[in-house]
Amino acid sequence: MKSVYILLAATALGTTAASAQELTFGEFEASYGEFRNDDAGDFGLTTVHGEVGIGFGAADAWVSGTSLTIDPEDANGSLSLKFGQIGAGYTFGSAFRADLSQANASISLGGVGLDLGAQELGVAYDNGTYFGRLSYTRLDNNDTLGIDSLTGLHVGYVSTYGVTASLSTHIVNEDLNVDFDPLTILSVSYDTSNWSANLDAAHMSIEDVDLSALSLSGDYAFNTQWMAYGSASKLEADGIGAPVTAKSLRVGGAYSVGTNAKLFADLGTINVEGLDDNVNNMRVGINMSIGNKAASRETTVDRLTGVFEPVVGYDF
pLDDT tens-place values along the chain, 316 residues long: 545 454 444 544 454 444 445 788 999 999 999 998 877 678 899 999 999 999 988 899 999 999 999 888 876 778 888 989 999 999 998 899 999 999 998 888 766 677 888 999 999 999 999 999 999 999 886 565 667 889 999 999 999 888 999 999 999 887 777 778 899 999 999 998 899 999 999 999 887 888 899 999 999 999 999 999 999 999 998 877 667 888 999 999 999 998 889 999 999 999 888 777 888 999 999 999 988 888 899 999 899 888 777 666 556 6
The 3-state DSSP composition of the chain as helix, strand, coil percent (nearest 5) reads: 10, 65, 25
- CATH class of the domain whose range is 86-312: mainly beta
**pLDDT confidence of residue 16:** 47
With contact defined as beta carbons under 8 Å apart, do 198 and 185 qualify?
no
Q: Where are the alpha helices (DSSP H) in the chain?
A: 2-15, 142-145, 300-312
166 SS3 class:
strand
Under DSSP, the state recorded for 314 is: S
Beta strands 112-126; 279-290: pairing state: unpaired
Per-residue pLDDT tens for 127-139?
Answer: 999 999 999 999 8
Whole-angstrom distance, CA of residue 68 vs CA of residue 42: 16
Q: Say how far residue 309 (Cα) sits from the centre of its chain.
A: 5
Neighbours of 143 (CB within 10 A): 8
13 SS3 class:
helix
**pLDDT confidence of residue 171:** 92
Query: What is the phi-psi region of residue 74: left when phi exceeds 0, alpha when psi lies from -120 to 50, beta otherwise?
Result: alpha
Q: Which amino acid is at 32?
A: Y
Cα separation values, 112 from 79, 106, 145, Å: 10, 10, 17
Query: What is the phi-psi region of residue 313: left when phi exceeds 0, alpha when psi lies from -120 to 50, beta otherwise?
Result: left
Domain boundaries, the chain: 86-312
**pLDDT confidence of residue 272:** 85
Neighbours of 114 (CB within 10 A): 12
Which of 13, 55, 16, 42 has the alpha carbon at shortest distance from 30?
13
**pLDDT confidence of residue 3:** 54
Point out which residues pair with 23 in neighbouring strands: 54
Please report which helix (H) or strand (E) contains residue 80, including its range: strand 79-92
**pLDDT confidence of residue 274:** 72
Whole-angstrom distance, CA of residue 108 vs CA of residue 1: 14
